[in-house]
Amino acid sequence: MMQDLLHSEPGLLNFGIVFAGAVLLLFVILGFVTYGILAERKVLGFMQSRHGPNQVGGPWGLLQTVADVLKLLLKEDTIPKLADRPIYIIAPVIAFAPSFMVMAVVPLTDKLQFADVGVGLLYYIAVTGLTTIGMLMGGWASNNKFALLGGMRAAAQMISYEIPLVMSVVGIVLLTGSMNLNDIVAAQENLWYIIMQPIAFIVFFIAATAELNRVPFDLAEAENELIAGFHVEYSGFRWAMFMLAEYVYMFAMASLITVLFLGGWLPLFSFLDFIPGAVWFALKFSAVIWVLIWFRATFPRMRPDQLMEMCWKVLLPIAIANIFLTAIVKEILNLF
Protein backbone atom coordinates (compact mmCIF):
# COMPACT_ATOMS: atom_id res chain seq x y z
CA MET A 1 0.00 0.00 0.00
CA MET A 2 2.76 2.40 1.01
CA GLN A 3 4.63 1.49 -2.15
CA ASP A 4 1.79 2.73 -4.36
CA LEU A 5 1.51 5.88 -2.29
CA LEU A 6 5.19 6.66 -2.68
CA HIS A 7 4.87 6.53 -6.45
CA SER A 8 1.63 8.48 -6.67
CA GLU A 9 1.29 12.18 -7.42
CA PRO A 10 2.23 14.43 -4.53
CA GLY A 11 -0.65 16.16 -2.88
CA LEU A 12 -2.05 17.10 0.47
CA LEU A 13 -4.13 13.91 0.72
CA ASN A 14 -1.20 11.56 0.11
CA PHE A 15 0.97 13.59 2.42
CA GLY A 16 -1.73 13.28 5.05
CA ILE A 17 -1.94 9.50 4.64
CA VAL A 18 1.83 9.02 4.86
CA PHE A 19 2.01 11.39 7.82
CA ALA A 20 -0.81 9.57 9.62
CA GLY A 21 0.95 6.26 8.98
CA ALA A 22 4.18 7.58 10.45
CA VAL A 23 2.38 8.95 13.50
CA LEU A 24 0.66 5.60 13.95
CA LEU A 25 4.00 3.81 13.80
CA LEU A 26 5.40 6.28 16.33
CA PHE A 27 2.58 5.47 18.71
CA VAL A 28 3.03 1.73 18.20
CA ILE A 29 6.71 2.14 19.04
CA LEU A 30 5.94 4.32 22.06
CA GLY A 31 3.51 1.65 23.21
CA PHE A 32 6.22 -0.94 22.79
CA VAL A 33 8.69 1.21 24.73
CA THR A 34 6.18 1.66 27.56
CA TYR A 35 5.52 -2.04 27.95
CA GLY A 36 9.04 -3.06 26.92
CA ILE A 37 10.40 -1.24 29.94
CA LEU A 38 7.78 -2.82 32.17
CA ALA A 39 8.52 -6.26 30.72
CA GLU A 40 12.22 -5.70 31.26
CA ARG A 41 11.68 -4.82 34.91
CA LYS A 42 9.29 -7.70 35.42
CA VAL A 43 11.62 -10.24 33.80
CA LEU A 44 14.62 -8.88 35.70
CA GLY A 45 12.58 -9.18 38.87
CA PHE A 46 11.61 -12.75 38.03
CA MET A 47 15.22 -13.71 37.34
CA GLN A 48 16.44 -12.07 40.52
CA SER A 49 13.68 -13.59 42.70
CA ARG A 50 11.80 -10.40 43.42
CA HIS A 51 8.49 -8.92 42.33
CA GLY A 52 9.33 -5.95 40.14
CA PRO A 53 6.77 -3.16 39.84
CA ASN A 54 3.47 -4.25 41.39
CA GLN A 55 1.80 -1.15 42.83
CA VAL A 56 0.75 1.30 40.10
CA GLY A 57 -2.05 0.00 37.88
CA GLY A 58 -3.02 -3.35 39.30
CA PRO A 59 -0.98 -6.33 40.48
CA TRP A 60 1.21 -6.34 37.34
CA GLY A 61 2.13 -2.68 37.62
CA LEU A 62 0.64 -1.97 34.20
CA LEU A 63 0.74 1.80 34.63
CA GLN A 64 4.19 1.98 36.23
CA THR A 65 5.99 3.19 33.08
CA VAL A 66 3.24 5.68 32.30
CA ALA A 67 3.67 7.15 35.77
CA ASP A 68 7.45 7.24 35.31
CA VAL A 69 7.15 9.06 31.99
CA LEU A 70 4.73 11.59 33.50
CA LYS A 71 7.18 12.16 36.32
CA LEU A 72 9.96 12.75 33.77
CA LEU A 73 7.85 15.25 31.85
CA LEU A 74 7.08 17.22 35.00
CA LYS A 75 10.69 17.33 36.15
CA GLU A 76 12.65 20.55 36.00
CA ASP A 77 14.62 20.93 32.79
CA THR A 78 18.10 21.91 33.93
CA ILE A 79 20.76 23.29 31.62
CA PRO A 80 24.20 23.77 33.21
CA LYS A 81 25.34 27.38 33.27
CA LEU A 82 28.56 26.72 31.36
CA ALA A 83 27.05 24.25 28.91
CA ASP A 84 27.19 24.91 25.19
CA ARG A 85 23.50 25.78 24.97
CA PRO A 86 22.59 25.22 21.29
CA ILE A 87 24.40 21.90 21.07
CA TYR A 88 23.13 20.82 24.48
CA ILE A 89 19.59 21.39 23.27
CA ILE A 90 19.95 19.84 19.82
CA ALA A 91 21.90 16.74 20.89
CA PRO A 92 18.92 14.66 22.18
CA VAL A 93 17.09 15.42 18.92
CA ILE A 94 20.02 14.28 16.79
CA ALA A 95 20.27 11.14 18.92
CA PHE A 96 16.56 10.34 18.69
CA ALA A 97 15.62 11.21 15.08
CA PRO A 98 17.74 8.48 13.37
CA SER A 99 16.35 5.81 15.68
CA PHE A 100 12.90 6.48 14.27
CA MET A 101 14.18 6.97 10.71
CA VAL A 102 15.55 3.43 10.53
CA MET A 103 12.08 2.02 11.17
CA ALA A 104 11.05 3.21 7.70
CA VAL A 105 12.84 0.37 5.93
CA VAL A 106 12.19 -2.52 8.32
CA PRO A 107 9.42 -4.74 6.89
CA LEU A 108 7.10 -5.82 9.68
CA THR A 109 5.03 -8.04 7.39
CA ASP A 110 4.94 -8.46 3.62
CA LYS A 111 2.50 -5.55 3.36
CA LEU A 112 3.35 -3.47 6.40
CA GLN A 113 6.43 -1.50 5.40
CA PHE A 114 7.04 2.14 4.70
CA ALA A 115 9.79 2.15 2.11
CA ASP A 116 11.02 -0.80 0.08
CA VAL A 117 14.57 0.50 -0.37
CA GLY A 118 17.01 -1.50 -2.47
CA VAL A 119 19.84 -0.92 -0.01
CA GLY A 120 17.67 -1.29 3.09
CA LEU A 121 20.25 -3.13 5.17
CA LEU A 122 22.98 -0.60 4.45
CA TYR A 123 20.56 2.27 5.06
CA TYR A 124 19.81 0.89 8.52
CA ILE A 125 23.48 0.66 9.43
CA ALA A 126 24.34 4.07 7.96
CA VAL A 127 21.56 5.95 9.72
CA THR A 128 22.32 4.25 13.05
CA GLY A 129 25.73 5.90 12.94
CA LEU A 130 24.16 9.35 13.21
CA THR A 131 22.97 8.65 16.77
CA THR A 132 26.58 8.33 17.89
CA ILE A 133 27.13 11.96 16.92
CA GLY A 134 24.18 12.99 19.10
CA MET A 135 25.67 11.17 22.08
CA LEU A 136 29.13 12.61 21.50
CA MET A 137 27.68 16.12 21.17
CA GLY A 138 25.58 15.71 24.30
CA GLY A 139 28.61 14.58 26.26
CA TRP A 140 30.73 17.45 25.00
CA ALA A 141 28.13 20.18 25.36
CA SER A 142 27.46 19.33 29.02
CA ASN A 143 30.88 20.79 29.85
CA ASN A 144 31.44 18.07 32.40
CA LYS A 145 34.51 15.86 32.20
CA PHE A 146 32.61 12.74 33.18
CA ALA A 147 30.03 13.42 30.49
CA LEU A 148 32.80 13.99 27.93
CA LEU A 149 34.52 10.75 28.93
CA GLY A 150 31.20 8.93 28.73
CA GLY A 151 30.49 10.38 25.30
CA MET A 152 33.92 9.37 24.03
CA ARG A 153 33.48 5.90 25.44
CA ALA A 154 30.06 5.54 23.83
CA ALA A 155 31.30 6.79 20.46
CA ALA A 156 34.39 4.58 20.48
CA GLN A 157 32.29 1.56 21.37
CA MET A 158 29.60 2.21 18.80
CA ILE A 159 31.86 2.92 15.84
CA SER A 160 34.03 -0.10 16.67
CA TYR A 161 31.16 -2.54 16.96
CA GLU A 162 29.57 -1.24 13.78
CA ILE A 163 32.35 -2.98 11.82
CA PRO A 164 31.71 -6.59 12.96
CA LEU A 165 28.00 -5.82 12.68
CA VAL A 166 28.37 -4.97 8.98
CA MET A 167 30.91 -7.73 8.30
CA SER A 168 28.69 -10.42 9.79
CA VAL A 169 25.77 -9.64 7.50
CA VAL A 170 27.93 -9.78 4.36
CA GLY A 171 27.44 -13.56 4.41
CA ILE A 172 23.68 -13.09 4.24
CA VAL A 173 24.01 -10.56 1.45
CA LEU A 174 26.20 -13.03 -0.45
CA LEU A 175 23.64 -15.82 -0.10
CA THR A 176 20.66 -13.62 -0.97
CA GLY A 177 22.32 -11.57 -3.67
CA SER A 178 20.52 -8.46 -2.45
CA MET A 179 20.55 -5.90 0.35
CA ASN A 180 16.79 -5.46 0.18
CA LEU A 181 15.22 -6.64 3.43
CA ASN A 182 12.17 -8.03 1.62
CA ASP A 183 14.39 -10.15 -0.62
CA ILE A 184 16.32 -11.35 2.42
CA VAL A 185 13.10 -12.55 4.06
CA ALA A 186 11.94 -14.15 0.81
CA ALA A 187 15.23 -16.05 0.57
CA GLN A 188 14.48 -17.70 3.93
CA GLU A 189 11.39 -19.43 2.63
CA ASN A 190 12.93 -22.87 3.10
CA LEU A 191 15.62 -22.41 5.69
CA TRP A 192 16.20 -19.53 8.08
CA TYR A 193 19.55 -17.81 8.04
CA ILE A 194 20.09 -18.61 11.71
CA ILE A 195 20.68 -22.21 10.55
CA MET A 196 22.56 -21.35 7.34
CA GLN A 197 24.67 -18.62 8.98
CA PRO A 198 25.09 -19.58 12.66
CA ILE A 199 28.47 -17.84 12.99
CA ALA A 200 27.07 -14.66 11.50
CA PHE A 201 24.13 -14.83 13.89
CA ILE A 202 26.33 -15.08 16.98
CA VAL A 203 28.64 -12.27 15.85
CA PHE A 204 25.69 -10.11 14.86
CA PHE A 205 23.88 -10.67 18.14
CA ILE A 206 26.93 -9.78 20.22
CA ALA A 207 27.68 -6.70 18.11
CA ALA A 208 24.01 -5.68 18.21
CA THR A 209 23.96 -5.89 22.01
CA ALA A 210 27.03 -3.65 22.05
CA GLU A 211 25.45 -1.21 19.59
CA LEU A 212 22.40 -1.01 21.84
CA ASN A 213 24.64 -0.18 24.83
CA ARG A 214 23.10 -2.96 26.84
CA VAL A 215 24.65 -5.21 29.48
CA PRO A 216 27.32 -6.66 29.23
CA PHE A 217 28.43 -3.73 27.05
CA ASP A 218 26.74 -0.86 28.86
CA LEU A 219 29.88 1.03 29.87
CA ALA A 220 28.62 4.03 27.98
CA GLU A 221 25.82 4.53 30.45
CA ALA A 222 26.31 2.33 33.47
CA GLU A 223 23.84 4.05 35.75
CA ASN A 224 25.24 3.00 39.08
CA GLU A 225 29.02 2.61 38.94
CA LEU A 226 30.22 4.86 36.15
CA ILE A 227 27.86 7.82 36.85
CA ALA A 228 25.88 7.23 33.68
CA GLY A 229 28.25 8.62 31.05
CA PHE A 230 27.27 11.12 28.39
CA HIS A 231 23.89 12.07 29.84
CA VAL A 232 24.84 12.91 33.45
CA GLU A 233 23.86 16.53 33.10
CA TYR A 234 20.58 15.88 31.33
CA SER A 235 17.30 15.80 33.18
CA GLY A 236 13.61 15.63 32.55
CA PHE A 237 12.43 15.43 28.98
CA ARG A 238 15.85 15.74 27.34
CA TRP A 239 17.10 12.76 29.31
CA ALA A 240 13.93 10.91 28.35
CA MET A 241 14.76 11.54 24.68
CA PHE A 242 18.10 9.74 25.04
CA MET A 243 16.46 6.82 26.83
CA LEU A 244 13.65 6.75 24.27
CA ALA A 245 16.20 6.60 21.43
CA GLU A 246 17.77 3.63 23.13
CA TYR A 247 14.53 1.70 23.48
CA VAL A 248 13.45 2.55 19.93
CA TYR A 249 16.80 1.14 18.79
CA MET A 250 16.04 -1.96 20.81
CA PHE A 251 12.76 -2.24 18.89
CA ALA A 252 14.50 -1.63 15.56
CA MET A 253 17.40 -3.99 16.25
CA ALA A 254 15.12 -6.80 17.43
CA SER A 255 13.06 -6.31 14.24
CA LEU A 256 16.22 -6.39 12.15
CA ILE A 257 17.45 -9.59 13.81
CA THR A 258 14.02 -11.13 13.20
CA VAL A 259 14.12 -10.11 9.55
CA LEU A 260 17.73 -11.13 8.91
CA PHE A 261 17.99 -14.39 10.80
CA LEU A 262 14.57 -15.60 11.92
CA GLY A 263 12.67 -15.37 8.65
CA GLY A 264 10.69 -12.21 9.40
CA TRP A 265 6.97 -12.83 9.04
CA LEU A 266 7.37 -16.34 7.59
CA PRO A 267 5.77 -19.16 9.63
CA LEU A 268 7.87 -21.75 11.44
CA PHE A 269 6.42 -24.63 9.41
CA SER A 270 4.55 -24.20 6.17
CA PHE A 271 1.39 -25.93 7.50
CA LEU A 272 1.14 -23.19 10.12
CA ASP A 273 0.70 -20.44 7.55
CA PHE A 274 -2.95 -19.84 8.46
CA ILE A 275 -1.60 -17.75 11.35
CA PRO A 276 -1.06 -14.21 10.02
CA GLY A 277 2.46 -12.95 9.37
CA ALA A 278 2.17 -10.17 11.91
CA VAL A 279 1.66 -12.72 14.70
CA TRP A 280 4.73 -14.68 13.63
CA PHE A 281 6.75 -11.50 13.49
CA ALA A 282 5.56 -10.47 16.95
CA LEU A 283 6.43 -13.88 18.40
CA LYS A 284 9.95 -13.94 16.99
CA PHE A 285 10.45 -10.31 17.90
CA SER A 286 9.40 -10.96 21.50
CA ALA A 287 11.79 -13.90 21.69
CA VAL A 288 14.70 -11.65 20.64
CA ILE A 289 13.69 -9.02 23.21
CA TRP A 290 13.47 -11.74 25.87
CA VAL A 291 17.02 -12.89 25.13
CA LEU A 292 18.27 -9.30 25.35
CA ILE A 293 16.64 -8.92 28.79
CA TRP A 294 18.00 -12.31 29.83
CA PHE A 295 21.52 -11.09 28.93
CA ARG A 296 20.98 -8.07 31.10
CA ALA A 297 19.99 -10.18 34.09
CA THR A 298 22.85 -12.65 33.87
CA PHE A 299 26.04 -11.11 32.48
CA PRO A 300 28.58 -9.00 34.38
CA ARG A 301 29.80 -5.81 32.72
CA MET A 302 33.01 -5.86 30.66
CA ARG A 303 36.02 -3.66 31.19
CA PRO A 304 36.67 -1.03 28.45
CA ASP A 305 39.93 -2.59 27.25
CA GLN A 306 38.36 -6.06 27.17
CA LEU A 307 35.48 -4.56 25.24
CA MET A 308 37.73 -3.18 22.50
CA GLU A 309 39.86 -6.33 22.34
CA MET A 310 36.71 -8.41 22.03
CA CYS A 311 35.62 -6.30 19.07
CA TRP A 312 38.87 -6.06 17.10
CA LYS A 313 40.61 -9.30 18.00
CA VAL A 314 37.70 -11.72 18.31
CA LEU A 315 34.54 -10.62 16.52
CA LEU A 316 36.11 -8.97 13.46
CA PRO A 317 38.36 -11.94 12.47
CA ILE A 318 35.47 -14.35 13.01
CA ALA A 319 33.20 -12.21 10.86
CA ILE A 320 35.80 -12.01 8.06
CA ALA A 321 36.40 -15.76 8.25
CA ASN A 322 32.65 -16.22 7.93
CA ILE A 323 32.65 -14.19 4.71
CA PHE A 324 35.38 -16.43 3.24
CA LEU A 325 33.59 -19.56 4.36
CA THR A 326 30.27 -18.40 2.92
CA ALA A 327 31.86 -17.46 -0.41
CA ILE A 328 33.60 -20.84 -0.68
CA VAL A 329 30.47 -22.79 0.24
CA LYS A 330 28.42 -20.76 -2.22
CA GLU A 331 30.89 -21.47 -5.05
CA ILE A 332 30.95 -25.19 -4.21
CA LEU A 333 27.15 -25.33 -4.19
CA ASN A 334 27.10 -23.56 -7.55
CA LEU A 335 29.26 -26.32 -9.05
CA PHE A 336 26.53 -28.90 -8.60
Smallest gap from Cβ 120 to other proteins, in A, equals 9
Q: Could you give the C-alpha distances from 155 to 83, 140, 196, 285, in angstroms and in order?
A: 20, 12, 32, 27
Q: Report DSSP state, residue 300.
A: P
Smallest gap from Cβ 299 to other proteins, in A, equals 27
Could you give the 3-state DSSP secondary structure of residue 250?
helix
- Quick one: 10 or 300, whose CB is closer to other proteins? 10
- Quick one: 204 or 280, whose CB is closer to other proteins? 204
Q: How many Cα atoms are found within 13 Å in the side-chain-facing hemisphere of 174?
A: 22
Phi-psi region at 295: left, alpha or beta (left = phi > 0; alpha = psi -120 to 50): alpha
Q: For residue 131, which of 158, 169, 168, 167 has the smallest C-alpha distance? A: 158
- Quick one: 28 or 328, whose CB is closer to other proteins? 328
- Quick one: 92 or 277, whose CB is closer to other proteins? 92
Smallest gap from Cβ 155 to other proteins, in A, equals 6
Q: Catalog residues that contact other proteins under the rule CB under 8 A.
A: 9-10, 84, 86-87, 90, 117-119, 122-123, 125-127, 129-130, 132-133, 136-137, 140-141, 148, 152, 155, 159, 179
Smallest gap from Cβ 308 to other proteins, in A, equals 15
- Quick one: 58 or 118, whose CB is closer to other proteins? 118
Largest alpha-carbon pair distance within the chain?
A: 70
Smallest gap from Cβ 263 to other proteins, in A, equals 23
Q: Could you give the C-alpha distances from 237 to 66, 142, 240, 242, in angstroms and in order?
A: 14, 16, 5, 9
